[in-house]
Amino acid sequence: MSRTGGVFHETGKIDMNYEMILAGKPYSLGRVEKRELFSQWLTELTEYHRQHCLPYEKLLKALKVPSGKNMEEEEIPMLPIGLFKNMELMSVPPTDVFKTMTSSGTTGQEVSKIFLDTDTAGYQQHALASIGADFFGEERLPFLVIDSPDVLKSRELFSARGAGILGFSIFSSRICYALTSDMELDMEAVEAFLKRYKDKKILVFGFTYIIWKYFYKALAIQGKKLELKNGILIHGGGWKKLISQSVSQEEFKMRICSVTGISHIHNYYGMAEQTGCIYMECPCGNLHASVYSDIITRRTVDFTPCEFGEKGIIQVLSPLPRSYPGHSILTEDEGIIIGEDDCLCGRLGKYFKVTGRIKQAQVRGCSDTYEG
C-alpha cells in the first residue's frame, strides 16, 4: 500500500515488467510489435498514475478518459509540458523522491520540476546507457565535458545540464571538464587530457549553446585547434539560441570540425520531463525513437495524429516515468516524422526532424498594453 493525497490505493494490481522493457536492444522493435507493447504499457501506466497522482486523476475524470479500457498509443491522454512548470506532479509519496530534476530554462523563465524516485531514475539511466552504447560502443571512454564542474554541485535540485553530464558519465573511464567555474575554457587541462589520451576514442559532451559560446568561440578567438580527430561529440539542448544567431546545424558541424577535427557529431533531442530516452541523430541526420520512447506529431486543429511527412506538434511517450505522470507529454516543439523502421542507418523505430519551437504570436486583448 502506498499513500497519495490522503487516499490509500492498492498498488499490487499493476506490474509492468520493467526488466522486459529495458532488456531489449534500443532499436530492435519493429512497428507492429512496438505498437502493441506501447499500447499495453502506456495503458497500464496511465492507470497507475490515475491511482497515485490526485491532480492527474482529476484531469482524466474531467476529460472523461475511461478507466480499465485498453487504449491505443494515440489515445493515451497527453499532459501539456507547461504543467510541470508550476504544478508539483508526482505519483510517489514525497519521501520517496530522491532527486528533483529541473529543466534548463533560460534565465527568468519558470523551470519544470520533475520528481524522481530511485526506480525511475534507474530506468532512465539504463535507457541512456543502452542508447549511448548503440552509438559509441560498450567500452568506457575518456570523457571530455564541455561545461563547468559547478553544474553538478547541488545534488538535490539538479538541472538537465547536470543530468546530461551525469547520465553520459556512465560511459566514461575518466572525466575532464573543459570549462572553469567562470565558464572560461581551461586550455591547460584540456590539452593535458588530450595528450594523455592521444589516439584514443574520446567522448565529448555538452549542451549545444554552451559548446558554441564557451568552447567553439573561445577556440576561434584564440586561433587554437585541438587534436580531437578521434572524438565523438554528443550535443543537445535545443537550437533556439543558435537559430537566433543564424547558425545552422551544418554550419555548427563544420565550425566544430574546423577547431577540433571532430567529424562524428550527433545532435540529440530530449527533455528534462523525459530524461534518459533521448532521440539521437544517426549518420543519416535523422533523430531516432528508441524502444524506450515513441513520438507522435499532432495537428493543431484537433490534435489528431499527423501523417508521416506532415509537420505537427510533438508528443513524446515513454513507459519509463513512473514516479511522476510524464509518460505522455505534449511538447512545445514542432517536428516532422519522416518514417518508421526504414531509415538507411538500419535502426528500427520512428525517425524524425525537429523544426523548432512553436512560434508565439501576439495575443489580442486589453490586458497588456504598454509594451514596446
Partner 1 sequence: MKDDTVILAGVRNVETKPSEPFNRPVLEFLDQLSCEIRRERKQYEQLAAFGFWCRRSHLEEFKKRYLDGRPRLGRGIIFHIPASNVPVLFGYSLVMGLLAGNSCSVRISSKSQEQDKILCHILERLLKRPEYRGMRRRICVFSSQRESLTVREMLSGCAGCVVWGSDLTIAKIRSVPIRADAVQLNFPERYSICILNPVRIGSMTEDELKNLAHRFYNDTYLLDQNACSSPRFIIWDQAQESEETEKTRVRWWNAVAEEALSYDLTAHKAMVKYELLCRYAMTLEGEIGIRRYKNCLYTIRLPDISSGLDKLSGLFGMFFEYQGEWRKAVGKLVSSRLQTITYHGIEEQDLVDFVIKNHLLGVYRIVPVGRAADMDPIWDGQDFIAVLSRQIGREV
**Segment contacting partner 1 by CB under 8 A, of 82-90, 94-102, 105-113, 217-225:** 82-90
Supply the minimum distance, in Å, between the C-beta of residue 109 and partner 1.
Answer: 15
- Cα(16)–Cα(36) distance, integer angstroms: 14
Could you say whether residue 7 binds partner 1 (CB under 8 A)? Answer: no
- Cα(93)–Cα(350) distance, integer angstroms: 35
- Cα(271)–Cα(56) distance, integer angstroms: 20
Q: Binders of partner 1 among 305-344, rule CB under 8 A?
A: 313, 330, 332, 334
Could you say whether residue 163 binds partner 1 (CB under 8 A)? Answer: no
Could you say whether residue 6 binds partner 1 (CB under 8 A)? Answer: no
Which amino acid would we find at residue 78? M
Q: Binders of partner 1 among 242-301, rule CB under 8 A?
A: 300-301
Beta-carbon-side half-sphere exposure of residue 207 (alpha carbons within 13 Å) = 28
Number of C-beta neighbours around residue 58 at 10 A:
12
Could you say whether residue 361 binds partner 1 (CB under 8 A)? Answer: yes
- Cα(126)–Cα(117) distance, integer angstroms: 14
Q: Which of 20, 23, 87, 254 binds partner 1 (CB under 8 A)?
A: 87
Number of C-beta neighbours around residue 9 at 10 A:
15
Could you say whether residue 366 binds partner 1 (CB under 8 A)? Answer: yes
Residues 6+ apart with CB under 8 A from 225: 219, 258, 259, 260, 261
**Segment contacting partner 1 by CB under 8 A, of 12-20, 57-65, 173-181, 269-277:** 57-65
Could you say whether residue 66 binds partner 1 (CB under 8 A)? Answer: no
Supply the minimum distance, in Å, between the C-beta of residue 176 and partner 1.
Answer: 40
Q: Specify the residue, 191 or 332, whose C-beta has the smaller distance to partner 1.
A: 332
Q: Specify the residue, 53 or 190, whose C-beta has the smaller distance to partner 1.
A: 53
Supply the minimum distance, in Å, between the C-beta of residue 236 and partner 1.
Answer: 22
C-alpha cell at 328: 505522455
- Cα(35)–Cα(210) distance, integer angstroms: 37
**Greatest pairwise CA separation for the chain in angstroms:** 64
**Segment contacting partner 1 by CB under 8 A, of 21-29, 79-87, 94-102, 169-177:** 79-87
Could you say whether residue 82 binds partner 1 (CB under 8 A)? Answer: yes
Residues 6+ apart with CB under 8 A from 260: 204, 219, 225, 226, 228, 231, 233
**Can you give the binding site for partner 1, defined by CB under 8 A?**
55-56, 58-59, 62-64, 79-80, 82-83, 87, 300-303, 313, 330, 332, 334, 358-372
